[in-house]
Structure 1
Amino acid sequence: MIYGTCITALKSLSFRALVLPNSLNFQVKLSSKCSPRRIRMEAGNLSCSIEGNKKESRGALIVLEGLDRSGKSSQCSRLVSYLEGEGLSAELWRFPDRTTNVGQMISAYLTNASQLDDHTIHLLFSANRWEKRSLMETKLKSGTTLIVDRYSYSGVAFSSAKGLDIDWCKSPENGLLAPDLVAYLDISPDKAAERGGYGDERYEKLEFQQKVAEHYKVLHDASWKIVDACQPIEDVEKQLQEIALACVKQCQQGKPLSSLWST
């Protein structure tokens, strides 16, 4: 014998109602993003619930940017170790990724072993990021936080410092994943030039780095945090830990992924 019927109608939402036996519960999952988290109704001994989509936890995409010799590589390694110590899954990524075929062409250019047109090398840098996009998204959705040493901002800042149109430089980056946090290690070009190893690669020239610094300023947006890279290493490290951990927690709470320069 049927004891009850559960029929529900929500504004701009429809689904089939089922007739169920006494004391039986059922759930209907909704795909509508604007649906309520949970609605529960009871009719006698019959109850039904509607449960909307839950926001999915994911890893954070955290990028460290700055001039050459600003300390990015060292701080990236330290930050990964810190996050792992907090029980989080984290990986260190670097761009350019010189292990790929495209990356090897870039490496030859940066070490002055080859010569390329400015437009060509810019597109190679972008292609190097694109060949990692799919894996990057997979890692993030699996819960792994990526700490990235340089990203699209470097490509645009360096190429536009050569005189290329900044909108043209941004164009091939459209559709790449947008970082959840960009930590810019701020140091004057003069101070950076005093650090060890300066001048080993093509772009490590003081006058050029000064131009790059100016073009970085144009790229600042809401995702950026400026960190004084002239502080003691430990102070820089602590500040990065604080802002990175806050970012990771936000992504664990369901912050959606977005695309770079999509608007």
Structure 2
Amino acid sequence: MGKLIVVEGLDGSGKGTQSKLLVQSLKEKGLPVLEISFPDYKSDSSALVKMYLGGKFGTRPDDVNAYAASLFYAVDRFSSYKDWEEFYQAGGIVIADRYTTSNAVHQCSKLPEERWENYLDWLFDTEYIKMGIPSPDEVVYLDVDVSIGQQLLTGRYHGNEAQKDIHEKDLAYLQRSRKAAEYCVRRYGWKCISCLNGGMIRSIKEIHTELLMVLGY
């Protein structure tokens, strides 16, 4: 089998940028590497995810319960795995910008904390055991304050707040998701990189250097 590395974080944390830089660095080392990203918006398998995030089932994240929303994303990941399964099983390194771990972060926040453990057991059993997609070898969580993440998102959308999905618009939901992420870091031993230094966002290069270090590259 190959290796699956997940770069996780809330919206605006720089997951996509850091995933691409990681892929580039590993290619420069001569390693067989492939980048994937979720949701896979180019695939029909993401249709329910797009409907959910676009507000078709309700304009608030809590309008779709944690278990139903999780299955939308799980189907998308199962479909994606069929595209990179052969590469992974042949020993390739797969870098995932988001994965099942995003459900852990974002859907836990819809539940009271005393139900998180049962939900997470269900989630990982559903995807890694029953659906048969790989579990990650490493998860790196990029931690950024929600308010800073919102500023970065606003810049990404050039000030057009209407472009934000129902997750990105709901600050209280994102605060709960950050708390859930901190829980997962502790419980599952995810590696955590703070994207801030003294309340200011760290440089992309500095974060990338730490990412390589914590992964042993």
- Give the alignment's TM-score, normalised by structure 1: 0.65
String of CA shifts for 1:75-100, please: whole Å, max 9, x gaps.
Answer: 11111111111111111101111233
Structure 2 equivalent of residue 238 of structure 1: 209
Deviation of 1:173 after TM superposition, in Å, equals 2.8
Which has more helix, going by share of residues? 2
Letter in 2 for 1:203: H
Of 179, 182, 189, which residue of structure 2 is paired with 1:217?
Answer: 182
String of CA shifts for 1:82-140, please: whole Å, max 9, x gaps.
Answer: 11111111111011112332302212321335547324222111222223345444322
Structure 2 equivalent of residue 182 of structure 1: 139
Rg: which structure is higher?
Answer: 1
String of CA shifts for 1:159-210, please: whole Å, max 9, x gaps.
Answer: 1212274323541234232211111101111221121237511101221110
Match of 2:30, SS state, is coil
Q: 2:21 touches 2:208 (CA, 8 Å); kept in 1?
A: yes
Match of 1:132, SS state, is helix
Distance in 1, matches of 2:215 and 2:86, equals 20
Of 194, 197, 200, which residue of structure 1 is paired with 2:151?
Answer: 194
Distance in 1, matches of 2:22 and 2:9, equals 16
- Give the alignment's TM-score, normalised by structure 2: 0.77
Matched, 1:123 2:71: yes
Q: Choose 203-212 or 94-103, whichever is displaced more.
A: 94-103
Match of 1:215, SS state, is helix
Distance in 2, matches of 1:226 and 1:94, equals 19
Aligned residues: 189
String of CA shifts for 1:207-230, please: whole Å, max 9, x gaps.
Answer: 111000111122224552111212
- Where does the alignment leave 5 or more consecutive residues of structure 1 unmatched? 1-57, 247-263
Give the superposed CA RMSD.
2.3
Distance in 1, matches of 2:41 and 2:88, equals 22
Structure 2 equivalent of residue 227 of structure 1: 193
Greater relative CO (CA pairs within 8 A, separation 6+): 2
Q: Choose 74-83 or 197-206, whichever is displaced more.
A: 197-206
Distance 1:137 1:102, change over 3 A: closer
Identical amino acids, percent of aligned pairs = 25
